[in-house]
Amino acid sequence: MDSSVFSAAGKPLSRRTLLAGSGLALLSTVALSACGSGGPAVQASGSASSAAAKQGGTLRIARPPASKAETLDPASSLSAYEYLGALYSRLVRLDESNTAQPDLAESWQMSKDAMTWTFSLRKGVKWHDGKPFSAKDVAYTIQHILDPAVKSPQAGVLAPFIKGSSVTAKDDTTAVFTLTTPNAEFVSLLAGYNCYIIPEGSADTIGKSGIGTGPFKLDSFTAAGPGKIVRNEDYFGGKAKLDVIEFSSIADTQARVNALLAGQVDLISQTNLDYATSRTVIASAGATVATVKNAQWYTVPMLNTAAPFTDPLIRRALAHAYNPKDVMQLAVNGNGTLGHNNPVPPSDAYRLDYGLEYDLDKSKALLKQAGMSTLAVEIYTSTYDSVLTPLALALKGSVADAGITLDVKNVSSDSYYTDIWMKKPLMVSYWYAGRPIDQLLNQIFRSGSSYNESGYANPQFDKLLDDARATVDDAKRKTLYQDAQKLLIDDAASLTPFFADRLVGLSKKVAGYKEYGFEFDYLNIGLAA
């Protein structure tokens, strides 16, 4: 059978959980201006973080707990995912350019019809308990993800293509995926953090045991509490710099920042610092701030199933009514990249260089065409994320000249993603950027998807996605994904004002730190010499 071969040199590739993506972004330290709000964007500068780390030492990370039901099961929606990249490995991972690279798989082949994927696995890999890793573990992991009782977020991504029986162990070092429908982008879907491989038969114990093949082994873990991991001396990828990583669970953002400033922790995880807090951190003696470029994708979903946004003329009128430069400056002090209403991140190779631009005359004309001279609508926000309310307020000010009045409703963050999100006609939202193109467009915009926050439904769009999946030719597949983007943008399903840089607080002692989406480079992170 003719096949395409992919290897290291190859090219193709709870709310907290569904936010997370598997995109990659380099992290660099930054210096902030000491001037007042409205100052310049964060600028990169050198520090210990970009230097090589010394061998040994203990890193202390403060993280927000998922819940008291959180688990070390990677497939779970309540996984404590700061641990995952340290404890486990996947078949493939994504590099800084979103290209699939080997992890537990050394190489892979795609059949000519994109229906069969064959993965050649590393030899000699051992689990933390000393047992040998094999293709049977891969088949078991996929069956576990697809088990309805697990309720894995990744099940909805993989289920359109595979069943539990679709993955077989040809031998100890060969895993074969037989898809139910073709997908030339399938390998990229296996890089999601829910796809970490677990030992065969471990479903009942993995949530506490944390037995993986990663660079660290579990020492202790308490749900919503402290934990500790130690270096795995037998890791196939080499020796990690650190001896130990200690985790503490601190629910409140400001409390995590205070712990960093007091020198009680070395890094605060999952915290997008606002600009004022960033300046406080950078001004301290022992801490600094780093930025993850374009890490967060901020959206303004217009619920296409609720008035007035059932009318595409109204949606397009709002899309043309705001000045994205002003909105990004006011919401995130310019620390990001303009989206122009295209939800595909700027770094994605499939991104179409096209968007709906700021045009007051066009906005007013579209409103008039829809039978309206002005528009008044409520926009919902909360303090769930530090940027949501500034974004809503910036948008309110920017669209006023188009005759559009936004009444900002700030509601409780505790119930925002249960009572408001996907229920109110207009709201603000965000995702972690970097999902593979197939997952991004299908999961968030495909008709009927459970994560389709705008309720967008277009059979033509869905068909373009299906055709792209089934197209093996790289150039033709890219064209189809870009055609789908143009259709989505022209329909104004949802607003994407900008992709924001995420500001992270860390000690000046931290060295060799890169962040890939929401995964650290656990192998090279450490302390400065």
Q: What is the pLDDT of residues 162-175, one digit of tens each?
A: 987 899 999 999 99
Judge whether 25 lies within some domain. yes
CA atoms within 13 A on the CB side of 357: 4
The answer to whether 63 touches 86, Cβ cutoff 8 Å, is no
Q: Which residue has the higher pLDDT, 396 or 164?
A: 396
Q: What is the pLDDT of residues 220-256, one digit of tens each?
A: 999 999 999 999 999 999 999 999 999 999 988 889 9
Number of domains in the chain: 2
Judge whether 197 lies within some domain. yes
Q: What is the pLDDT of residues 294-343, one digit of tens each?
A: 888 999 999 999 999 999 999 999 999 999 999 999 999 999 999 999 99
The answer to whether 364 touches 403, Cβ cutoff 8 Å, is yes
Do residues 95 and 171 both lie within one domain? yes
Q: Tell me how far apart the alpha carbons of residues 243 and 223 are, in angstroms, rounded to a whole number.
A: 22
Do residues 474 and 516 both lie within one domain? no
Judge whether 521 lies within some domain. yes
The answer to whether 339 touches 516, Cβ cutoff 8 Å, is no
Q: Tell me how far apart the alpha carbons of residues 499 and 518 are, in angstroms, rounded to a whole number.
A: 16
Judge whether 179 lies within some domain. yes
Look up the CATH number of the domain holding residue 378: 3.10.105.10
Residue 118, both tokens: 């064959």
Closest CA to 496 of 458, 440, 417, 450: 440
Do residues 56 and 123 both lie within one domain? yes
Do residues 166 and 100 both lie within one domain? yes
Do residues 517 and 490 both lie within one domain? no
Do residues 461 and 523 both lie within one domain? no
The answer to whether 210 touches 87, Cβ cutoff 8 Å, is yes
Do residues 361 and 487 both lie within one domain? yes
Segments in 222-292 forming alpha helices (H): 253-261, 275-282
- Classify strands 267-268 and 58-63 as parallel, antiparallel or unpaired: parallel
Do residues 15 and 155 both lie within one domain? yes
Look up the CATH number of the domain holding residue 204: 3.90.76.10
Do residues 469 and 518 both lie within one domain? no
Q: What is the 3-class SS of 293-314, one letter each residue? A: EEEEEEEEEECCCCCCCCCHHH
Q: Tell me how far apart the alpha carbons of residues 372 and 364 are, in angstroms, rounded to a whole number.
A: 9
Do residues 466 and 520 both lie within one domain? no
CA atoms within 13 A on the CB side of 59: 37
How big is the chain by its Cα radius of gyration, in Å? Answer: 23
Domain that residue 204 falls in: 3-211+508-527
Closest CA to 248 of 72, 83, 61, 85: 61
Q: Tell me how far apart the alpha carbons of residues 131 and 208 are, in angstroms, rounded to a whole number.
A: 18
Percent of the chain with pLDDT over 90: 73
Do residues 422 and 521 both lie within one domain? no
Judge whether 260 lies within some domain. no
What pTM did the predictor assign?
A: 0.84
Judge whether 263 lies within some domain. no
Judge whether 88 lies within some domain. yes
